[in-house]
Amino acid sequence: MKTALFDPQAKPATAQEASAPELLTLLERAAGYFSLLSEPTRLRIIQAICYAERSVQEIVEQTGLPQPNVSRHLALLHRSGVLSRRRVGTSVFYQVSDATISELCRLVCLRMAGGLQGSGA
């Protein structure tokens, strides 16, 4: 890919470059990644564990969400590669394994709270 993605300093993509199969595949994958952030429950879970590994029970307590709901979202985030998990006895602990997801959440939340006004974001 000759053009830099989402870089305002880069030259615009030609029509051929913009419809290249590898670019379209990449953008589909990016949309799937962003869809992980489209559910407020998942954002609450990511926020609860973005700084420290926590057990499912700790996540339930911190978020106030029902355990089956938390487990379902944790499983999805784990399958997507965003979280890692480990089992200790009967407890399962999760942590963020993709730091990009935490940074995206932080940036978007700051933007929504007005923290990035005037920065062009």
How confident is the model at residue 52, as a pLDDT?
94
Whether 31 has a pLDDT exceeding 90, the answer reads: yes
Whether 1 has a pLDDT exceeding 50, the answer reads: no
Distance CA 86, CA 70 (A): 16
Instruction: For residue range 55-106, list pLDDT tens digits in order.
Output: 999 999 999 999 999 999 999 999 999 999 999 999 999 999 999 998 998 8
How confident is the model at residue 120, as a pLDDT?
53
Between these two residues, 2 and 59, which has the higher pLDDT value? 59
Q: Are strands 83-88 and 91-96 parallel, antiparallel or unpaired?
A: antiparallel
Distance CA 116, CA 104 (A): 13
How confident is the model at residue 13, as a pLDDT?
73
For residues 59 and 74, is the Cβ–Cβ distance under 8 A? yes
Instruction: For residue range 33-61, list pLDDT tens digits in order.
Output: 999 999 999 999 999 999 999 999 999 99
Distance CA 114, CA 39 (A): 21
Between these two residues, 15 and 49, which has the higher pLDDT value? 49
Predicted TM-score (pTM) of the model is 0.79
Instruction: For residue 51, count CB atoms less than 10 angstroms from its CB and return exposed for 0-12, middle for 13-18, buried for 19 or more.
Output: exposed
Nearest to 102 by CA among 88, 78, 85, 82: 82
* CATH class of the structural domain 21-111: mainly alpha
